[in-house]
Structure 1
């Protein structure tokens, strides 16, 4: 065994006097050619090797599932968001996460092609409202607010959504100002900030795909 000093491994041979010694150095040729060819992926190098398009490229096995650590770091565009293991709200309807997905390729029996998903941050209770057009989002939200507040006995304090035009418009702004609701927006191209409802959306979309693949109409629309 040797110890690395800067970019060199050093070893004290004197302490091995009087013993049989065998020293070897091992290096993965696939990574060497990966760097020489400008960090090309292994699939491309395998194809170059197969078609003999690069002079001097040895006939070695380039494993397709190998990932170079430097390439991973170089292609990483943002740090991962840490998971939050606690609920920041103290009561129902204090914060509502909202999102909308569609257009569904196959409309429902009620001719609905969009799903408007609302998730309560405290209880994670989820409401799904189905729309024919995106511009129906505000009308459905205003009806939902009156109904939910009367049923639960709490007032809505804050809502969170992305910057979609169905949420960021004058109707939503006037309604929130009139009823004292704080409307938060997630940063552009950062769905992680609205991940609570984004996960619900993905689940609903997978359910819809499964039902359509089984030749069943999405009756929950």
Structure 2
């Protein structure tokens, strides 16, 4: 026996609906809203699922108990970026590239689509589109993952908890823009900052290091001569030793090279801005 599933294309309903629970899979138990029939009877929508018929998969079809006809929502197709076209005797559901996904016929004043008659060499998946807030929420939850990959995870049901919706990128993510931004390179100086050795010294104190040296020292004082790029490295037990070690270094290097240190450039931290060094440089 071949079961023929007939859907009426309706512009008055906001969601796809049907009354046959046996045809739906991947249920989500959730109260959404209520539906009012023509006889004023009200029925709640307590769940929705996916309708699979052959090569066709319709996502997010609402189950309404007591509904005698299956309804395709004109609006839900449009929200999924699909085109719904009506002719005198037929109707078409197309993607944005103009490919026919579903074809229906007209009987009296109703347009209907029979899923059993739909023949396609490739699987067709009609997914409801996620709202903008849903799309960007999952974009952030997944560490700013690109939307093509998010849709792939959703379509193949790879990630637990990710709703089976079509996620649309409707604007640029400011965090992604900053993350991909590149800083412009500084242009090379035409004239060097220093004219000779020891004219300008750069220095910084690093630490405390997680791994101590052989002698148990966890701080490193690095001094670089701007003119020659020559580098000196001193290991310290604590940052309090910086003024004493620096003064001894300056006396030693100035005497050995017979040159005077003119400028010292630091990050202005407390190990360099203190009374001991202030008195020495005064």
The TM-score with structure 2 as length reference comes to 0.41
Determine which structure has more spread, i.e. the larger CA radius of gyration: 2
Aligned counterparts, 1:51-66, within 5 A = 51=160, 53-54=162-163, 56-57=165-166
Tell me what 2:188 maps to.
84
Partner Cα distance (2:268, 2:234) in 1: 19
1:143 Cα deviation after fit: 0.4
Partner of 1:42: 145
Cα gap change, 1:34/1:120 in structure 2, threshold over 3 Å: closer, same or farther? farther
Aligned residue number for residue 45 of structure 2: none
8 Å Cα contact 1:120-1:126 kept in structure 2: yes
- Show the counterpart of 2:206: 101
Structure 2: 5+ residue stretches without partners: 1-96, 99-128
Distance 1:142 1:33, change over 3 A: farther
Shift of residue 77, structure 1, vs aligned partner = 9.4
Contact 1:34–1:42 at 8 Å: present in 2 too? no
- After TM superposition, the structure 1 = structure 2 runs for residues 101-120 of structure 1, keeping only pairs within 5 Å, are 101-120=206-225
- Give structure 1 stretches of 5+ with no counterpart: 1-23, 26-31, 61-67, 178-221
| 1:14 corresponds to | none
Q: Is the strand fraction higher in 1 or 2?
A: 2
Q: Is the 8 A contact 1:113 1:133 kept in 2?
A: yes
| Per-residue deviation, 1:82 | 1.3
Secondary structure at 2:205's aligned position in 1? strand
Alpha-carbon distance in 2 for matches of 1:69, 1:82: 28
* Cross-structure match for 1:129: 234
The Cα of 1:43 is off from its aligned counterpart by 6.9
Bigger relative CO (Cα 8 Å, ≥ 6 apart): 1
- Note the C-alpha offset of 1:121: 0.2
Who is 1:156 aligned against? Answer: 261
How far apart are 1:101 and its partner, in Å?
1.1
How far is the alpha carbon of 1:108 from its aligned partner? Answer: 2.2
Q: Which protein has the bigger helix share?
A: 1
Q: 1:92 to 1:69 in 2, by over 3 A?
A: farther
Partner of 2:274: 169
Does residue 1:73 correspond to 2:172, yes or no? Answer: no
Deviation per residue, 1:81-101 (Å, 9 max, x gap): 615355321101111000111
When the two chains are superposed, the root-mean-square deviation of aligned CA atoms in Å is 3.9
What SS is found at the alignment partner of 2:197? Answer: coil
TM superposition shift of 1:149: 0.5
- Kindly state the Cα deviation for residue 34 of structure 1 after the two structures are TM-superposed: 11
Give how far 1:103 is off.
1.5
* Cα 1:34–1:164 shift into 2, 3 Å: farther
Q: Is the 8 A contact 1:114 1:134 kept in 2?
A: yes
| Contact kept in structure 1, 2:130 and 2:165, CA below 8 Å | no
Query: TM-score under structure 1 normalisation?
Result: 0.52
Q: Distance in 1 between matches of 2:253 and 2:209?
A: 27
